[in-house]
Homo-oligomer: A and B are copies of this chain.
Amino acid sequence: MNVLIIGAAGMLGRKLSHQLNAQKMCAGQAIGQLDLVDVVPPQPLDSATSDDATGSDAQARNVVSAIRDPLIITQAADLTAPHVAQQLIAARPDVIYHLAAIVSGEAEQDMDKGYRINLDGTRALLEAIRSEHEKDGYCPTFIFTSSIAVYGSPFPETISDEFHLTPLTSYGTQKAMCELLLADYHRRGILLGVGLRLPTICIRPGKPNAAASSFFSGILREPINGQPAILPVADTVRHWFASPKAAVGFLIHAATLTREQIGPRCNMNLPGLSATVAEQIESLRNVVGSEAVALIRRENDPVVATIVAGWAESFDAQRAMALGFAAESSFDDIIQVYLDDEMA
């Protein structure tokens, strides 16, 4: 079983890579090779195994475990450059995680780049799979990270699994278009597709990014680290969250699903937690303390506020829950994941 992760240098890609490398299994099978690809070189996972094309070190360390360590190959590659998608797929990965994307803020500012990376890049991958499929029936599992940005207001208080997609950003448009493509290739039997509409991931470790949602993590992460943070929207803004740990769990669980379980509708909303900014801040007070809360400064940003006002607040993700996907049920838990994973 070989696994390819595209977008492996991103936050979620790194965490997924580490988790798969640690558990050595994917969808119930031992991972032979783990290919980590991104436009920037993905960080080596482990000095003993990364960039180790022979696998000899992995074999040497095999004393402690009955399962051989995956062979890890890291590669810097631009999915939208000629032949890159074909090269990646020619290695015939069994499971493909496609996490690479230009984030919402950047896709809104640079329309060409957003469509090129988020739409054309995904399409190039799907077409490369089709080309191999037509040779001999090759049919990998393709797990695509979509986003709740495929939804646009006005919507009901709680969004059902059958509510229409009316994105209000180019990023959301690109994700929704890729969902449609994925479902068509899935329906044609070219691949087994799973499109996961991730909740906003919170608390993202590291630095703020260009996503309009970046502050949802920043107002917690920066104060936990003793730094000031800016809150650009009102306390009453409600949004839909899951931790990075829950998101990695979604990705790993998705690889276990069969065509019968998925059915024709391969894109789905995932479970998460609906919380207001005020509730986020209260959890910060509970779990970390008032001195952390005092580091949050309110500074309204009408651009961010307008984008966020078009976002979904809550979902009834019945289908995904029935398929075994699970997330946190309190914001205290979400903050605790950050403390355990990043501050330990």
**A residues adjacent to B (C-beta < 8 A):** 111, 130, 152, 162-168, 170, 173, 176-177, 180-181, 183-184, 187-188, 264-265
Contacts and interface: CB of A to CB of B under 8 A. Distances in A.
Given A152-B264, A264-B152, A176 B166 contact: no
A167 B152 contact: no
Contact of A173 (B164, B184, B265): B184
15 contacts: A111-B130, A152-B264, A164-B164, A165-B180, A166-B264, A167-B180, A167-B183, A168-B187, A168-B264, A170-B184, A170-B188, A173-B183, A173-B184, A176-B180, A177-B181
Contacts of A168: 187, 264
A165 B167 contact: no
Given A162-B164, A166-B265, 15 more contacts: A111-B130, A162-B163, A164-B164, A164-B165, A165-B165, A166-B264, A167-B183, A168-B187, A168-B264, A170-B184, A173-B180, A173-B184, A176-B180, A177-B177, A180-B180
Interface centre among A152, A163, A180 (most CB of B within 10 A): A180
A159 B164 CA distance: 11
B183 A166 contact: yes
Contacts of A183: 166-167, 173
Contacts of A164: 162-165
Contacts of A184: 167, 170, 173
Contacts of A166: 183, 264-265
Enumerate the 4 nearest inter-chain pairs by beta-carbon distance, A residue then B residue, closest first: A173-B184, A164-B164, A177-B177, A173-B180
Contacts of A177: 177, 180-181
A111 B129 CA distance: 14
A311 to B, nearest CB: 14
A72 B155 CA distance: 45
Contacts of A165: 164-165, 180
A164 B187 CA distance: 17
A330 to B, nearest CB: 30
A147 to B, nearest CB: 14
Contacts of A181: 173, 177
A183 B173 CA distance: 8
Contacts of A187: 168
Nearest to A114: B184
